[in-house]
Amino acid sequence: MANFPYLNRDISWLSFNYRVLQEAKDPRVPLLERLKFLAIYSNNLGEFFRVRVASNRNLIRIGKKTKKELGFEPKEIVRQAIGIVKEHMIEFTKIFDQQIIPELKQHGIHLLRRLELSEDQAKFIEEYFKDHLLPYVQPVLLLSGKVNPFLANATIYLALDMRDKSNPNRTQYALMQVPSQFVDRFVQLPSPKGEHHVIMLDDIVRHNVSMLFPGFEIRDAYSIKLTRDAELYIDDEYSGNLMEKIKKSLQKRNIGPASRMVHDRDMPGRMLNYLMGMFELSDIDLIPESRYHNNFDFFKFPDFGKDELKLTPLKPLPYAPLKSKKKIFSAIAERDHLVMFPFHDYCPVVDLFEQAAIDPLVTHIKVVQYRVSSDSRIMDALRLAVKNGKVVFVFIEIKARFDEEANLRWGATLEKAGIRVRYSFPGLKVHAKVAMFRRYEDESFKDYCYLSTGNFHEGTAKIYSDFGFFTADKRITGDVKRLFKFLEKLELPTKPFDHLLIGQFNLFDELNHLIDWEIKQAQKGKKALIILKLNSIQDPKMVEKLYEASEEGVEVRMIVRGICSVVPGIFGFSENIRAISIVDRYLEHARVFYFYAGGEEKIYLSSADWMERNLHRRIETAFPVYDKNLKKQIMDVVDLQWRDNVKARIIDGDSSNKYQKVKGQNKPLQSQIETYKYFQRIGEEGQN
C-alpha cells in the first residue's frame, strides 16, 4: 500500500475537541457540567495552539523539510486548522449565548454585562475596581513605532478605541490588562433575594477604564489575548546537561513567539490592522471569538450550592481483596488483581507504597514517575521508606510537557531525602507506568509489581479512567526487573523481554507480529479479530498495517478517544474497520490491545498509544493479563464501551461525530455509568 487514506493528526485532534464541545451543548448533561466542558474545550484549544500550531509554524519558518519528508504540508495544515477553529468558535458562542446563559437565568443565576447593572451594582463594581484591581490593570498607550508592549501569554487585555478630547479628530489606542490571574474572574454582585447576580472581571474593567484615561473619550473596548509557543524543542538533544537546558527553556516558555491572537469578532478592521502591525501578526495568526476569552476560567464558575445542576457523584468503590494494608503483599502473592479508576478507589495503590515503606521485609522500592500530584502520599511514602533503611530508586521524566517544573522540584526533594534519582534520557521519553517492590521472604527475595495505564497521580485518578494491575507473577516481574536495570544502570537487557512489550526494544515488532498472526488466520478462513482501545493512533506504519489486516478479512474494532489517523470504511482499504470515540464525565485514558489469537485471546494493557512518538521515541510498557477472570473483566468493560449509544460517536472520514446507534439495542447504554454498576455488582458478588 504505497498510498493510503490518512487523516492528519492535528485535523483529527480538532475533531476530538469538537466532541468535547458537543458535551457542552448536550441537554442531557447537567447545566454546570456543560459550562465545565466549555472550559475543557478552551483549555484543550489553548494547548493545541501553544504546542501543535506553534510547531507547524516553526516548520514553515525553517522551510527545510519537504512534504515528502513530513507527509504533510505545514502551511496547509495550519490553514485548515484555523478554518476549523473559526467554525467551532462560532458554535461555541451560540452555545454560550443561546443555551447556557438563558438556562442559567431559569435557575436564578444571572451573568450580567455592565449596562445591565442596577445603580447599587454599578457603585459596587466601581469600589471593587479601586480596592482590588487598580494595582494590576497596567494601562498603556499604544504609539506605533515607539511603544511596543509585551503581551503576556494567555492574559486578557482590553484594547481601547479612544478619541483625544483636545484633538477630536485624533484616534488613540490603548491596552489594559484584565488581571484574572490575580483576582477571581467571576465576581458576585449584590443580588435580589433568591437570585444570584454575577459579573465577569472583564466588564468591571470595561466599566472603569475612563477613570484611567481622563483626557480621552472611550469609544469602545475589545478583548484580545495572545497564545505563545510553549514547546521546549529539546526532545532530540543528545549533548550537554539536559536538566539545565530544560530549566533555561522553562524560563523562556511564556515569552515564545505568538501562535495566535484571539480577538473580539466585533473589533473594527482599522483597529485590528493596527494591532496586527503593532505585534507583527498576519491574517493566519488571528482567531475571532466572542466578547470573552480564556473560557477555561469556567472551571471556577460559582455553583451557588446548586448540586442539582451538577452530575451525581459516583463514589469510588472499595476493592475488598486489597483492603487490608498489612495483608496487601500476601494478597498479591496469592493471585493477580485488577482495579479500574476512578470506578475503584485509588487506595490500594497508595496503600501499597505506604505499607512497603514500613514493612520490615521490604528492602527495595523502584518506580517510574511521569506526572505526580503536588500533594502526593506516594512521594511521602518513598521518603519514609528511605528513613526506614530501604533502597529507593525513582526515575523522573522531566520532559513531561507542562509538568517539567513540578517534576524538577520533586526530584530535588527526593534527592534531598536520600533517594537515588535518575532523570530523563536525551532524545527519549520514559512513559512507562511501573513500580517494583522487593521483599525478603523465606530466605529469598520475591518481587511484587504494580503496572498501570495511567500515572502515579492521586488527583488524576479521580477523573482519568485507567486500569491498575498488581502482580507477583515471575513472568512479569522478571521483565520489570530487567527494565529497571536498564533505567537505573543503563545496562541493556542480556536476554529479551519475554512477556512485556517494551518501547525501544520489542513493542513495535511484537505488535506487528500479533497483527500478522491475525492476518494469517483470516487468510485461512478462520476467525480473526483485533480490538484496540487507545487515546490516539497516528503512526503511519501501524495505520497501513491495520489497512492490510482489514483487506485480508480481519475484523478491526477501535475505541479511540482522541487522534485517529485511520479512516474507517474506505473501499479497498478499511472496509472491515469500525471506530468510535467516547467523551463523558471521565477522561478515557486506558489502553487495551486485544487479539483473538485463535481463541487464546491475548490481551495487553499499556501506557502506549499508537503514535510515532510512543512506538519509536519512548520507553513504554504493554503488559499481558493471563488470569482468565481478569481478562473477562477487561473485555466486559470494552464491550460496554463498544455498545455505548449515549456517549459514543462514530469516527469516519467526514469527521461528522454522529452519535452511535447500536442495531437491536433500544435502551440507552452509557458505558461509564454501566462500568461503575458492573464493578459494583461483581464486588457485591465477591468475584473480585
pLDDT of residue 666: 86
Helices then strands (H, E): number in the chain? 20, 27
Domain(s) labelled CATH 3.30.870.10 in the chain stretch across 320-498, 502-684
Residue 232 has a pLDDT of: 47
* Lowest pLDDT segment from 180-194, 238-252, 576-590, 594-608: 238-252
Q: What is the pLDDT of residues 527-575, one digit of tens each?
A: 999 999 999 999 999 999 999 999 999 999 999 999 999 999 999 999 9
Amino acid identity, position 532: L
pLDDT for the residue 66 = 59
Scored b (16 or more CB within 10 A) or e, 238-261 reads eeeebeebbeebeeebeebebbbb
pLDDT at 257 over 80: no
Mean pLDDT on 16-25: 98
415-444: pLDDT as tens digits = 999 999 998 887 788 999 999 999 999 899
* Distance (Å, whole) CA 67 – CA 658: 32
**pLDDT class for 72, splitting at 50, 70, 90?**
confident
pLDDT in tens, 308-323: 999 999 999 999 999 9
User: Phi first, then psi: what are they for 681, rounded to 5°?
Assistant: -70, -50
Residue of 197, 263, 293, 431 with catalytic role = 431
Neighbours of 86 (CB within 10 A): 14
* C-beta of residue 182 within 8 angstroms of C-beta of residue 312: no
Distance from C-alpha of 24 to C-alpha of 8, rounded to nearest angstrom? 25
* Nine-digit cell string for 118: 442596577
The Cα–Cα gap between 199 and 117 comes to 9
To the query of whether residue 293 is one of the catalytic residues in this protein, the response is no
Q: How much is the mean pLDDT over the chain? A: 90
Q: In CATH, which superfamily holds the domain spanning 30-309?
A: Polyphosphate kinase middle domain (3.30.1840.10)
**Is the pTM for the entire model greater than 0.85?**
yes
Alpha-carbon span 281 to 399, nearest angstrom: 30
H-helix or E-strand spanning residue 588: strand 587-588
Name which of 17-26, 191-200, 211-220 the model is least confident about.
211-220
Alpha carbons 262 and 347: distance in angstroms, whole number: 43
Q: How far is CA 131 from the centre of its chain?
A: 37
For 665, list phi and psi in degrees, rounded to 5. -120, 100
Instruction: Decide which of 49 and 449 is more confident.
Output: 449
Q: Which of 175, 140, 146 is nearest to 261 (CA)?
A: 175
What confidence score (pLDDT) does residue 152 get? Answer: 84
Q: What's 502-684's CATH class?
A: alpha beta
- pLDDT for residue 102 is more than 50: yes
pLDDT bin (cut points 50, 70, 90) of residue 493 is confident
Q: Is 445 helix (H, G, I), strand (E, B) or coil?
A: strand
Amino acid at 192: P
Which residues, in sequence order, are CB contacts of 598 under 8 Å at separation 6+?
A: 521, 526
634 vs 641: CA distance, rounded Å: 11
Name the helix (H) or strand (E) containing 371. Answer: none
Q: For the chain, where do the domains classified as CATH 3.30.1840.10 start and end?
A: 30-309
Residue 659 confidence (pLDDT) above 50: yes
370-386 residue pLDDT tens: 888 878 999 999 999 99
Three-state secondary-structure class, residue 227: strand
Residue 239: pLDDT band by 50, 70, 90 thresholds? very low
Query: Residue 34: CA atoms inside 13 Å, Cβ hemisphere, count?
Result: 20
CATH fold of 320-498, please? Answer: Endonuclease; Chain A (3.30.870)
Q: Is the pLDDT at 247 greater than 80, yes or no? A: no
